[in-house]
Amino acid sequence: MEELKKATNTFQNVVLENREKLNVTGIIDVLSFDDQIIIIETELGLLTIKGEDLKINKLSVDTSDFIVEGRINSLIYSNADTGMPKSKNILSKIFK
C-alpha cells in the first residue's frame, strides 16, 4: 500500500454510505456507464462499480469528484496496465 502511495503521490477517497451513495475522489474519466455497471478511470487504476438503478449525480473534472447513487453491490479495482501481454489480432499473427 505504501509503495502505491509513493509511486503515484496521490490520495484517493472512496466513501460508501449504506450501499446507496458512493463518493469517489481522484477521478480522471468515466469510461462506460449504464444503470448496472459503471467503469471509471481513477488516479489509482480502473474502478468498476456494479449495482442496480445506478445514477451518476455528480461528475466534476475540475475537482475530480464523482458521486453515484443506487443499489451498489460491488466495487472492483484493477490496473489499467496489468502487465499481461496484450492479445494480438489476426493480422499481427499473420504478418510476424
Domain regions of the chain by residue span: 2-94
Query: What is residue 71's predicted lDDT score, i.e. its pLDDT?
Result: 98
Instruction: Give the confidence band of 63 by pLDDT, cuts at 50, 70, 90.
Output: confident
**Identity of the highest mean pLDDT range in 7-16, 37-46, 83-92:** 37-46
Question: Rounded to an integer, what distance in angstroms lies between the CA atom of residue 96 and that of residue 82?
Answer: 24
pLDDT in tens, 12-54: 899 999 999 999 999 998 999 999 999 999 988 999 999 999 9
Mean pLDDT of all residues in the chain?
81
Architecture of domain 2-94: Sandwich (2.60)
Residues 34 and 28: beta-carbon distance below 8 Å: no
